[in-house]
Amino acid sequence: MFEPPYPPYDPKDKSGYETVVKRWPVILTGIIDTIYRIDHHLGVSLETSDATSEDVTKGQEKIAEGKGIIEKIGKLKYEMARDRPLEPIPDDGEAFIDVYNAELKRLEQDKNHTWFTAPWLFAECYLYRLLRSYFCQTTHWCTFDPFSFQKEETFRSSGKAIYQLAKMMHELQVDKQELIGDSEKLGVLFKEMIQMCLWGNATDLSLLTHLSHDDIAHLQTVGKEAQQARKEFILKDDQDNVWSHLTSLQDNDVTVDFVLDNAGFELFTDFVFADFLVTYTPHVSRVVFHPKLIPWFVSDVTPADFSSTIPNLLSDTFFPPPKPVGGTETPGVDEVKALPPSRPEEHEYLRNMVTRWQSYIDSGVFSLSVPLDTPLGAPNSKADFWTSSRPYWDLKEKAPLVFNGLSKSGLVIFKGDLNYRKLTGDIKWPVSTPFETAIGPLAGSFPILSLRTNKADVVVGISQEIADKLDVAGEKWRVNGKYALVSFVPRT
């Protein structure tokens, strides 16, 4: 068992404290609102439609179960605000009850088992697992993802950046033959792609509890100039090393794995990157995507999110048309349906690209690590591990199937902040700790690339001097999502 020499971050640290005081309560309130609205609509429709008595009975059961979940979440909010102990996960038949509860017992011995004393990363994972228990113990809400509306809404508001990227990929397509033979140009493009995929992580719904959709669209601006301007915000930059690694792969059957983070726009950028790797570079034959099997950190990709992405992107009505010049009115649903595509070429570019992705899925060039129709919570040893509370240095011992699969990979890309926290154990490493030290015994097992915008305190692999400068400048550089790390460790 790897024992890091420093403790993990906890809510005694500022960001952790703010998370417990502000961010989690907002997220919990959001779930309550969602269930309340569904219950309300259901109630109205049962009264007004010509529902059969069986429908009425089921509907009423669902409403009652919804109320039960709301009550539990209300109680949870109350206990969280009062620094009460974390309750054991109930015996709901799903994964990791013992793992979470054993850790709670251990924390209790050290008197670190309350909301303001438990390690931040553990408590946050526990929170999503506990929420899952509220849903999976019901009949009518068991397959319900309380964040699905939010994920879809945000995805809908990403149209601008998505059409922009589709156009960029179309332009590449035009030069495809020339590009394929030009390793130097490919190397330059590879970095553009990494950055696009990296900054795609800047939008995360669990963090952006206060931003409007317009703010989010602004964050997603992916033009080349924006990329260039953001380069200075990449505090650790291993992009060249990753490219050298990929070009050195001799095997002609190379798989790249994406340990996914967020659905919607970020997943779109993952697809674009994956598409670039298999379509343009001669180095990659296949891409495997690894989702989460329960609703996780609000916006993480579940199999259902993954499956709905391509149909959504292919739908002519998924993205609302741009607002009319000089007007602010958003057209109603029927008007949207009646509108011809406002950007016919861009629609075409997007359609071509996404149709190619579908063909990759059909032929197995792109695949999900679990069946596409895997329902929420269904145990699956190929993916459960990602929603345990364990640091990733436990992968070999605790999830050998996943570990063995990844061991054969040409490159495993860990997307986002949470994956970074789990890679490094969310430990208070000094910033100058090498990334390969901070990920413990996982280092060297397979080639690892972490693409992370900084949203939580843990940061390694940069000089103390840089950290001090940013601190002196008063930047919240560890948590404001403006700075990023591209960290690579090869196989040894």
Nearest-approach distance from CB 465 to ligand F6P, in angstroms: 25
Classify 374 as helix, strand or coil.
coil
Residue 485 host element (H or E): strand 484-489
Q: Which is nearer to ligand F6P, 127 or 353 (CB)?
A: 127
Q: In the complex, what is the shortest distance from the CB of residue 292 to Mg ion, in angstroms, rounded to a whole number? A: 9
461 and 434 in contact (C-beta within 8 Å)?
A: yes
Taking the complex as a whole, the smallest distance from the CB of residue 63 to ligand F6P amounts, in Å, to: 31
Question: How many residues of this chain bind Mg ion (CB under 5 A)?
Answer: 5
Number of Cβ atoms within 10 Å of the Cβ of 106:
11
The entry of Mg ion, ligand F6P, none near residue 456 (CB within 5 to 8 angstroms by kind) is ligand F6P
Return the DSSP state at 440. Answer: G
Q: Binding pattern to Mg ion, positions 183-222, x when CB under 5 A? A: ---------------------x------------------
Pairing of strands 286-290, 484-489: unpaired
Q: Report which residue type is found at 275.
A: D
Q: Write down the least CB distance from residue 127 to ligand F6P, Å.
A: 10
Piece in contact with Mg ion (CB under 5 A), picked from 171-179, 246-254, 291-299, 431-439: 291-299
DSSP state of 23: I
DSSP-derived secondary structure letter, 21: I
**CA pair distance 72, 16, nearest whole angstrom:** 23
With beta carbons less than 8 A apart as the criterion, state whether 211 and 270 touch.
Answer: no
- Greatest CA separation for the chain: 70
Alpha helices in 344-450 (DSSP H): 344-363, 395-398, 400-407, 416-423, 435-438
Closest CB to Mg ion among residues 204, 436: 204
280 vs 297, which CB is nearer to ligand F6P? 297
Which one, 216 or 418, has the nearer CB to ligand F6P? 418
Nearer to Mg ion, 15 or 117 (CB): 15
201 binds, among ligand F6P, Mg ion, none (CB under 5 to 8 A by kind): ligand F6P
CA 204, 373, 295, 41 torsion: positive or negative? Answer: positive
300 binds Mg ion (CB under 5 A): yes
Question: Which of 262/433 has CB closer to Mg ion?
Answer: 262
Show contacts with Mg ion in window 248-267 (CB under 5 A): 261-262
Give the footprint of ligand F6P on this chain (CB under 6 A): 124, 201, 204, 206-207, 261-262, 297, 416-418, 421, 455-456
Question: Rule CB under 5 A: which residues touch Mg ion?
Answer: 204, 261-262, 297, 300
